[in-house]
Amino acid sequence: MPLRSLVVSVILAFTAGLVVASFAGFREFLPGLLQGALVTIQITVGGSVLAVIAAFIAAIGKMYGPWPVRWLAVGYIEVFRGTSALVQLFWLFFVLPHFGILLEPLTVAILALGLNVGAYGAEVVRGAIQSVAKGQWEAATALNMGRLTALRRIIIPQAFVRMIPPWGNLFIELLKATALVSLITISDLAFKAQQINQTTFRTVEIFTIVLVFYLAIASLITVAMRALEERAAAGISRGRS
C-alpha cells in the first residue's frame, strides 16, 4: 500500500472513531478514552525502544559473544519466547516485590512487553545479519576491519533494511499486547473502555470506538515503518551508487 494511502487510512480511522463517538452520545467520554489511548501509546513507544535495544544486544551476543554471553542471550530469548507475556507481566509485578524490588506499574508494563517482543526481535536481527552476503564480510576483512567495525559500518546498515518489515509486525503485536496491562492497575485504553462499559452498558458503541482507536494507532505504526523502510532503502542505494 502506498505511503499516501496509509496516511489517509489513519486519518479516516481517527475520524470514524470520533464520528461514532459523537453519534452514540459518548462525546463526554472521549477525554477518558483519549487519556487511555495516550497511556497505551506511551507503553507501546517505551516497549518498542526497549525491544529494539534488547534484540540487538541478544542477537549480537548470541552470534559473536564469548560463551557466557552466548548462554545468557540464548537463555533470555528462550525464556521470554517460551512463556506467556501475561505470566511475565504478573511475575514482574507480583513476584519481584518478594525480593525487595518494587516497580511502578508503567515501568513493569514497558519492561515485560519490551523484553517479550525483544526476544522475538533478536531472531529477526540474527536472521537479517546472516542474510547479508558473505562477500561483504570478506570485503571488510580485506579492508582490515575488525568484527565490530564491520558490523557497524557494513553489515548492520544492509541488514537493517531487511529488519524493518518484521519489526513493524512486532510493534503492532506489542500494541495489541498492551491490553494486558489493565490487569496490573494501569488505566490504558482497554481499562478505560471497561470502566465506561460498566457505567453505561453500551458495549457495542464503546468497543467499536476502541477498536477504531487501536486500528488507527496500528496504522500510524505501519506508516512510520513504511517511511523508515523507504528512507533506509534509499540510503543503501545512494551508498552503492
Class (C level, CATH) for 3-236: mainly alpha
Average pLDDT over residues 148-170: 87
Pair 26, 34: CB distance under 8 Å = no
User: Could you tell me the pLDDT band of residue 7, with boundaries at 50, 70 and 90?
Assistant: low
- pLDDT at 2 (0 to 100): 53
Query: What is the distance between the alpha carbons of residues 152 and 230, in angstroms, rounded to a whole number?
Result: 20
Cβ(171)–Cβ(225) under 8 Å?
yes
What average pLDDT does range 59-65 have in this prediction?
92
Inter-residue contact 221 to 182 (CB < 8 Å): no
- Residue 180 is classified by DSSP as G
Sign of the dihedral through C-alpha 96, 50, 46, 121: negative
**Which is higher by pLDDT, 29 or 124?**
124
Q: Which pLDDT score is estimated for 6?
A: 55
SS3 1: coil
Q: Are 162 and 3 in contact, with CB atoms under 8 Å apart?
A: no
CA within 13 Å, CB half, 153: 12
Q: What is the pLDDT of residue 48?
A: 97
Q: The whole model's pTM is what?
A: 0.86
Q: Are 8 and 157 in contact (CB under 8 A)?
A: no
The pLDDT of residue 176 is 94
Cell 487501536 locates to 214
